[in-house]
Homo-oligomer: A and B are copies of this chain.
């Protein structure tokens, strides 16, 4: 063996050994099938401890490069060696089966969603595209303590598989919590999912087939289009105002389009912030039952609000079991927990549990145990209260900045909770163009088009305030305002240079 160890290198010794042997094999200084020195001998040769060599050998063996044979020693793997297979490589061409994708996502929506999902730290931009809470506010010490507690007290079972149904104490806690919101729920009815998104996706998989229609508010949460479009399920948009979905329009859609599901975000509607009135919630469940169509209530966040009372969930008005309820801990708490839940009953519940297993077996029992302890202890309720006050201040800063920097003809609505402001701009503004211009200027926005069933350019954008600090909000909105003014000026300029005939 020809390599030498360096005490100065940053790589640990065992990695240097591993690297050295790997290079020797690649350079054919060590031939396939040849015997390596014993770890004792090599340790003596290299003046390192035997465990260092053993570690290097263990990794090389895991790499498939060497093999230890009981009683006879350690050998370079006889048949395959890495360089021979790698060297003769040409870049892959695209086989024809690659043309047979079942569906291709909408490019506008896809790009916007990818932008919104990029961590602000990665992009370095003022991330108005994100509409979720600010994880920097979360008491890190509390989380660290709880994690250590779970690992110490629950032990190895916290590392194993959970059932697809979910961790029983967490399901029990949620059942009690929802009971307090007036819902009739047992722990058996609660299924833990990887965020609300997986809940929606599993429900679609259980209930809908390609060609079916789903009634949704228009605009609505963009993730629901991703889920439905990739299954070739049609979405039928229904208008809404500050009091939520237009129930009369829903009735016409139920009669005309026979949707198989009504999807709604009644509380702090995403993206508009609307809160459905109690009266409409009642009407909705009555209509759903009359037409025998289930409601999927996406209650992604009730906990962050700015004062005014909000009506209880639609599910609490349900007398017949027509409402499937989805909740989440991503946007309001810690996205990285990847935990949400579905409340469902009867054969739908059983089917969802099976599909959860078919999809990804189960959620992390470790993270479920951490969440349960944080909930049980009340930490989270205190956190939500505190965070709400901070988000409220950020919202007010954004509203003030919009008044200062956005042009006449812009509109917005100050929601009583949630994480973003839905802003309408004059129709001559291209928000899709603004998206690119804003990225170049260091600001990200959520393009309004992404929230509509037909993602054409729409004069709307959603500006998330909750995860952006106050000083950046003012600066970011000012930048957007200037970019919009430039667009309007160009538009005017274009209008002047090419006057209407006549």
Interface residues of A (CB under 8 A from B): 12, 14-15, 22, 55, 58-59, 61-65, 67-70, 77-80, 82, 85-86, 89-90, 92-105, 110, 113-114, 117-121, 130, 132, 135-136, 138, 140, 143-144, 147-148, 151-152, 155-164, 177, 179-182, 184, 193-195, 197-198, 201, 205-210, 223, 226-227, 230, 260, 278, 289, 292-294, 302-303, 307-312, 316-317, 319-322, 330, 334-338, 345-348, 351, 354-355, 357-367, 378, 381-382, 384-385
- Find out whether the CB atom of B180 lies under 8 angstroms from the CB atom of A156: no
User: A97-B260, A366-B367 known; 13 other A-B pairs, CB under 8 Å?
Assistant: A64-B182, A67-B309, A97-B207, A98-B348, A103-B351, A114-B163, A140-B156, A159-B334, A160-B336, A195-B361, A197-B360, A198-B359, A230-B354
- Find out whether the CB atom of A381 lies under 8 angstroms from the CB atom of B95: no
* B contact residues around A90 at 8 Å (CB): 319
CB distance from A252 to the nearest CB of B (A): 20
CA distance A194 to B373 in the complex (A): 23
CB distance from A207 to the nearest CB of B (A): 7
* B contact residues around A12 at 8 Å (CB): 378
User: With A98-B346, A98-B347, A347-B98 in contact, is A381–B119 under 8 Å at CB?
Assistant: no
- Find out whether the CB atom of A358 lies under 8 angstroms from the CB atom of B85: no
User: With A180-B65, A292-B96, A338-B364 in contact, is A70–B307 under 8 Å at CB?
Assistant: yes
- Find out whether the CB atom of B179 lies under 8 angstroms from the CB atom of A95: no
Can you spell out 25 A-B residue pairs with CB atoms less than 8 angstroms apart? A14-B378, A58-B382, A63-B177, A64-B182, A77-B309, A82-B179, A90-B319, A93-B321, A95-B321, A97-B260, A97-B292, A102-B209, A104-B351, A105-B351, A117-B362, A119-B157, A119-B163, A140-B155, A144-B148, A159-B334, A159-B336, A194-B359, A335-B362, A338-B361, A338-B362
CB distance from A126 to the nearest CB of B (A): 16
Copies in the complex: 2
* B contact residues around A151 at 8 Å (CB): 140, 143-144, 147
* B contact residues around A64 at 8 Å (CB): 180-182, 302, 309-310, 312
- Find out whether the CB atom of A292 lies under 8 angstroms from the CB atom of B95: yes
CA distance A337 to B85 in the complex (A): 32
- Find out whether the CB atom of B360 lies under 8 angstroms from the CB atom of A338: yes
Q: Which residue of B lies closest to A80 (CB)?
A: B312
* B contact residues around A120 at 8 Å (CB): 160
Tell me which of B22, B195, B230, B292 contacts A205 (CB under 8 A).
Answer: B230
CB distance from A423 to the nearest CB of B (A): 23
* B contact residues around A97 at 8 Å (CB): 207, 260, 292-294, 322
User: With A78-B309, A157-B121, A365-B336 in contact, is A354–B58 under 8 Å at CB?
Assistant: no
